[in-house]
Amino acid sequence: MGKYFRLLLIGYCFSLFSIATTAQEKNISTEKKLILTLEDVIQYAKEYSTSSFIAKHQFRSSYWQYRSFKAELLPSLNLALNIPNFNHSISTVQDYETGNYKYVQNFVMRNNVALSIDQNLAFSGGKLSVSSSLERMDQFSPNKYANYSSSPVFMTYSQPIFGSFNQLKWDKEIEPERYKKAKLVYLENMEDIALQAIQYFFDMASAQQNLKIAQFNYENTEAMLEIAKERFKIGSIKKSELQQLELNLLNAGLSVNQANIALNMAHFNLKSYLSLDETITVDLILPSEVPQLNIEYNDVYQLSLTNTSFESDIKIQELEAESAVVQAKANQGLSADLYMQFGLNQTGNTFADSYHRPKDQEGVRLGMRIPILDWGMGKGRVQMAKSQQEMVDEQINQKRIQHKQNVLLNVLNFKNQGQQCAISAKADTLAQENYQTIMKLFAEGSVSVLELNSAQSDRDNAMLRYVSELNNYWTYYYQLRKLTLYDFISKKNISTDFDKEVLQ
């Protein structure tokens, strides 16, 4: 019985081990590994990041605002219904002959329908309406009868004559420019997303490089320590140098742990920004080379004026400031509005009678507003608007100066960075070769631990410096792309199909 129990227990343990192994293999199989280049990371960010989602919806908001404005310029068709409009009550009525009041019973139902076409006129600020309406009135008490009233055609036109601010006219100039700016701002936001993706890419790439360096240093220090122990036995190395290597090994172990933590954090930040699933593991490939581009300041500056939202933003500010002055002046003095109407109407006991030989109806009204005494309030508003316009002009001048300086600084940074990358790449190669040489000499007993540590430090710094210079190069390059909305590698303007890629 005991033997049987032991066999059963062993079988149960093997079953548990098999289940655990299968579960582990299943977890490994569900994990996906992505090997991404810098271009891949930028593309993922532009398509899947939260920042990309926000940028698209900000543009969509601007798009529908522009669509709403365009709708104001088109005729609108409106149907108005009052069905039913029933009233059963006691009302007070005055006798027109005697002037006496009396109470009468009101028992009536009125149903009406009207169809109208309305058109805003941007050039004049007026509004034209054409309508057609029909009403049926049913009286139930004291006598029961029905009556119809029709207006087959009725036209009204309202027009500010002078002293009125034409908002639609100014919107016709400003709103298209706002929509143009919204498109360019969206493209600039995409370049901002690329810049942020570059930062996350090189944060993780640096962390990867740090971990490789830490692991490499730990393995080499461990090997050098074994060599040092043999040399210490024959008296060719001091005990202090041996202890220094032992300390270096401990520090190298700590560096590996710290590098692992830093890499995990950078890995998480990158995946979070790209909206990647938790089960995905990312490995990065550093750019093997940087393109040699000849970019001149004058070209960049001209592109920054013609391709980006900079000039659109300035134009909008100028138009808004100018319209504010015009509005203040319009509200200051005399204002008048003209209202005209013409139509045909008729009444009858039947539907057909209400459309038989309709009679014409005309009306004209002129309304005026004349300020007599406002204690200088209107003049003050005009002066405030003019002062605001002058301030906007000065701010625009300052923006232009700062923009020129910003373009010049970015061009200088980029032009210098290509050489920086070449120098740091060469320094990295030399530092690697020097470290290999020092390691061989240390094994032969020709150099000290201090010289070995110095060579290792130089090699580590050179490797990290090269990654840093690559980061700077691509950061400066995409800053120039944002400043110009121009791809200097492909030599074409940056654009997108808004209808397919953004609005859907």
Instruction: Give the rounded distance of the alpha carbon of 466 from its chain centre.
Output: 33
pLDDT digits (tens, 9 = 90+) for 341-361: 998 888 888 888 888 888 888
pLDDT digits (tens, 9 = 90+) for 303-355: 999 999 999 999 999 999 999 998 888 888 778 888 899 988 888 888 888 88
pLDDT at position 305: 95
pLDDT at position 31: 61
Residues of the chain with pLDDT under 70: 1-31, 163, 236
Cβ–Cβ < 8 Å for 141, 87: no
| Contacts of residue 452, Cβ cutoff 8 Å, sequence gap at least 6 | 224, 438, 439, 442
pLDDT at position 271: 94
Buried b (16+ CB within 10 A) or exposed e, 407-430: beebbebbeebbebbeebbebbee
pLDDT at position 21: 43
Report yes or no on whether pTM surpasses 0.75: yes
Q: Where are the alpha helices (DSSP H) in 31-137?
A: 38-48, 50-72
Going from the C-alpha of 208 to that of each of 198, 205, 253, 260, the distances in angstroms are 15, 5, 16, 9
pLDDT at position 7: 38
